[in-house]
Structure 1
């Protein structure tokens, strides 16, 4: 069967919200809803995101007739230290297909910022190890190190064809043995901490069988349909230590020396996350570890700076045949204090900063524009694409106190709190009038909400269900539940007369957007007679308290997942213990294992780990049944319809999580001399920065960024 390479979706238009943001924000980036076409991609004039090209080619581009390389590499070829460029590239290299690209120049260095050396954000800049990759803001799936793929009719067997001639950064050949090592010697090794990713499980939850007929072909065989395999292979960024995605491939020729199967002298703690294996196998922390990314690390100074140089064997080229990357070197300085980082950006210390990583927000635009002459940077606004805003609120559906849990599970109680929240004020005060008021949903860019006429209708019904500011309606709902002021102190009590205090817990030191949103929400709830207490706690205390049912409600997490609702469905279906129904999510995890029937005689909160079954016929049991159908349904349209049914449960019996203002602009800064950084109008859906599983900016190929005047930015001969 020919693979389905993504699904076309129209972007959700937000023209009125953009207009409300005023001239200053409007000047940063404009919008265009034109989707990428199938045939463009040979480069456009103008450049740096100011070109007319929109989106990315959906079909792989043909390899150019000849290839070109950076002067620093050409010099090494001439000296006999490197093979010619055509011998360093695969037989069919990946041709970056973005329609906004203009011909670039080699050279220079790029100064960047990162919170810490080992942080997963560093990896989100580079798609180099990934099997497949997202294009057009998640509308399409394109090739990665696998150049093609197909499945059988019921999606129970998938075959991946990898690029012949692919090489690691040390020049050693890549083969399927580099994947089998990860699978057989790490994932299937009981002494190792690696876990199989979702794409290696069938719709029944059982592990796939992995075989490699040859060095460049991999076959995944499942015991049931696994229709989401391609989507899941495109998510995250693979490689390294797996902190923002599964590893999938490692340079076996280098890392097997740290594995006791191949080296009896390997340390006893080899398999721990900070043990010798993970440390040595991490291309970000260990300059000796070969990589498939566009740049390779040359030095690491923990807590200070991370330095990279171009990978001479990088397997991607631009449409003109230039081996990427264009920029010679990256210098990533570690800045943990967000306020210090913002000041340094204004001082011109950095050339490119992906705003979400540096906690840059719309409130920083004015300062950045005022200092633009000094800093040399411009502000770039891409759509966030989230469904709730940077912060959302959700009760613990499995809260340990029986009386409060019963109230939390009343849809009318949660609906009352949603109607009492003045989102228009948050939109104006926090987001400068941009974005869209929302009850709280999955991403408005998710494919299921752009299919036919029903998809957009289903999305709007969820978004608008309880987002109107109507405190009188909220009071009426509470009154009908018996949540009234019984003792005359001005605060409502529980239906039985017990004291009612809503505790909003969040990680200490929240960013400004989270803090402002929470403050306005708490104020609104107090105005309808609710006693609300804010409870900042250390981040490390959050998961244990939440997963044991001891924390009542959270206000420090946004819902940004996509590009479809099934590839990472944890917000709409409780299948793990970190979101709105933690004990039931944990029970889903143990279904079909001995733990499912263990400790039946114990209170759910005393089990190890704490877990409980859903109420028979209740919303969670019905969500599970629909999701289980989705996982084995090979027909894409039928899966969309199942997602609509899931959504209707959220509309009728939710909100299970509550948003404020969705799809607000996400701020990035780029030096005015830096080319091929797309603007919103270049992107098929205006950008999609919120979810980690849609890795930004990796999806826009920073390896194609270039300096128009490289001699002014480190030059081609400057040292790192």
Structure 2
């Protein structure tokens, strides 16, 4: 699936930024009904109604508000209020929200026999904010401009997937288009791919698929006033997304959009706020803050403890779920981790209870024994090849360590980040250190600053032997989860490498290609789960936990929907009246 360093770099950057932002997404409870309930119960009762102003209080600015430079998940779904795409997420709570559904298109696309071509037809009656019709030529142009160097930053999949995409530089230099995007008429568009991609409908949710009328394109200034195809239009963008004001797009027609509800009349997005200030304002709920939400600020252990038995506040907490894994990574090219028995011993020794406590407690993290998250959409198949129980199995670890040739134990180094993010933090590293000590494994901790840590673990030539890592997928499928980490063709020696184990197994690579041909998501999911289980036998990593994210909403906010696709409160569903 993903082969170039640029692709891996962008995917990981987004995954990391989601967590560092306080958790724009998360993995959560196994019970789908519980997940849906958590979202549905947040906020006051009563049928949502149109009207009012929704305030968004965020820590991170909504930078680069240009569909070429954004991910659909960016900004807590704020972009999806302005930019419609060929397909989109199903806007429901829990597991049903992990499905892809049509948006501008009439269906999820029609593939050819081997899924190397995908054809879409636009719905009738689609219009921009100025009343002009949306055409497939606009979608083609919107994608083409995303290849321009000056508009870099968006999802990179099309650069790798489209025929000619790896050398195309956008339309600005010579006015040339991309021949692999064919537009025979104003309502039909076909994409020609370099190899089969059954997940193409998922990628068609990315904001690069938003239509951009060529006559209205202002290049790098387009973000100041992008032309809306969604229910809201930008009327103010100050300090590169620090203050964003959205008003209704009167030419948006609900009849063409089954997903967005567009209840508020106005949406006021204010960013650059301290996380503690955001949560305090949401808790107090004075004035406009009563009708406020956050899309990037999580509740921490101390704040959850303060909420405690306060039923009114507890009723305003929504829980987000997303495909994300925190794990211990091995580099088998570094001794003693070239010995599978050593890796197995570490797996048996790990105390997931202490790790979860270090990550914020059971309300904010759940144990994991598989690489794929415990979501049906990803193809999760339960397994635990090297059982450690809830608190580790030091006796079994010592037994396996003896088989590895270390009857008296051994000393190893664990590399981690010094950033206080509850993911790869010193606290988590210390919990691992203490668990392994009980098994006769002495762990020396090597803490690095955030950027230095990332550079080290992504450097194939200098990857540590043993370190904390994490991964999240851009859409709910096993492909973007397993391929970047275990596909040998994605090993990058001169850039950012995410195949930490540098696994290059022809059988694994071939199975990834075979699954990529499948357009039946259920069949693909089953195969991804089986592949995850097979790879897990090699003990190339130790799954630790899935983060769980909890967000507070204002007391007047209704209709809180949080899906398993993004884990973010879906702003397109929120009402304040």
| TM-score bracket for the superposition, by shorter chain length | 0.7 to 0.9
Work out the CA distance in 2 between the residues paired with 1:559 and 1:612.
12
Aligned match of 1:215: 186
SS at match of 2:237: strand
**Contact 2:162–2:192 (Cα < 8 Å) also in 1:** no
Structure 2 contact 261–572 (Cα < 8 Å) conserved: yes
Tell me if 1:506 matches 2:506: no
Instruction: For residue 667 of structure 1, report the CA deviation from its aligned partner.
Output: 0.8
- The one-character-per-residue Cα deviations of 1:190-211 (angstroms, maximum 9, x if unpaired) are 8975788436766999878211
Q: How does 1:22-101 map to 2 (within 5 A)?
A: 33=33, 49-50=40-41
Mapped pair 1:150 → 2:110? yes
Question: In structure 2, what is the equivalent of residue 593 of structure 1?
Answer: none
2:556: which partner in 1?
673
Asked whether the 8 Å contact 2:487–2:512 carries over to 1, the reply is no
Match of 1:181, SS? helix
Alignment of 1:109-508 (within 5 A): 109-118=54-63, 121-122=74-75, 124-127=77-80, 128-135=83-90, 136=92, 137=95, 138-148=97-107, 149-187=109-147, 193=152, 197-198=156-157, 209-222=180-193, 224-234=195-205, 237-238=206-207, 246=208, 249-255=211-217, 257-258=218-219, 277=220, 280-282=221-223, 286=224, 288-302=225-239, 305-313=242-250, 315=252, 317=254, 324-335=261-272, 337-348=274-285, 350=289, 351-354=291-294, 357-361=296-300, 363-368=302-307, 378-386=315-323, 388=325, 391-397=326-332, 405-427=334-356, 430-432=360-362, 436-447=366-377, 449=379, 459-462=381-384, 465=387, 469-485=392-408, 492-493=409-410, 500-506=411-417, 508=419
Report the equivalent of 2:51.
106
TM-score (ref. length: structure 2): 0.74
Query: For residues 12-44 of structure 1, what are the alpha-carbon distances to aligned partners after superposition, in whole Å with 9 as ceiling and x for unaligned?
Result: xxxxxxxxxxxxxxxxx99763999xxxxxxxx
What is the Cα deviation at residue 652 of structure 1? 1.3
Give, in whole Å, the separation in 2 of the partners of 1:132 and 1:171: 22
1:571 shift after superposition = 5.4
1:387–1:444 Cα contact (<8 Å) kept: no
Gaps of 5+ in 2: 1-28, 65-69, 167-178
- Could you say if the C-alpha distance between residues 515 and 134 of structure 1 is closer, same or farther in structure 2, counting changes exceeding 3 Å? farther
Q: 1:108 to 1:183 in 2, by over 3 A?
A: closer
Q: What 5-or-longer segments of structure 1 have no aligned partner?
A: 1-28, 37-47, 52-99, 239-245, 259-276, 399-404, 450-455, 486-491, 494-499, 576-583, 588-606, 689-693, 709-720
Q: CA deviation at 1:471?
A: 0.8
Whole-angstrom CA distance in 1 between matches of 2:510 and 2:156: 22
Deviations 1:438-478 (A, max 9, x none): 224212114363xxxxxx7xx22248755552011112222
The reply on whether 1:573 has 2:486 as its aligned counterpart is yes
**Quick check: which has more Rg, 1 or 2?**
1
Report deviation, 1:303: 8.3
Structure 1 match to 2:470: 557
C-alpha deviations, 1:664-698, integer Å up to 9, x for none?
643122223222113xxxx7xxx42xxxxx33437
**In the alignment, what sits opposite 1:15?**
none
The answer to whether the 8 Å contact 1:416/1:478 transfers is: yes
RMSD of aligned alpha carbons: 4.4
Question: How many angstroms apart in 2 are the aligned matches of 1:676 and 1:152?
Answer: 39
| CA distance in structure 1 between the aligned counterparts of 2:371 and 2:362, rounded to whole angstroms | 21
- Match for 2:566 among 679, 695, 700? 695
Q: How many residues align?
A: 513
Task: Give the CA deviation at 1:254.
Answer: 1.7
- The residue that corresponds to 2:21 in the other structure is none
TM-score (structure 1 length as normaliser): 0.61
User: Quick one: distance in 1 between partners of 2:76 and 2:191?
Assistant: 26
Give the drift of 1:385.
Answer: 4.2
Q: For the structure 1 residues 353 and 636, does the alpha-carbon distance in structure 2 shift closer, same or farther, using more than 3 Å as the test?
A: closer
Is residue 2:552 matched to residue 1:704?
Answer: no
For the Cα contact (< 8 Å) 2:355–2:431, is it kept in 1? yes
Distance 1:614 1:517 in 2: 19
Aligned partner of residue 671 in structure 1, secondary structure: coil
Alpha-carbon distance in structure 2 between the residues aligned to 1:383 and 1:185:
33
Contact 2:118 2:191 in 1 (8 A): yes
Q: Supply the distance in 2 between the matched residues of 1:344 and 1:660 (Cα, whole angstroms).
A: 34
Q: Is this contact kept in 1: 2:48–2:575, CA < 8 A?
A: no
1:408–1:200 distance in 2 versus 1, CA, 3 Å: same
Question: Structure 2 CA distance, aligned partners of 1:611 and 1:348?
Answer: 45
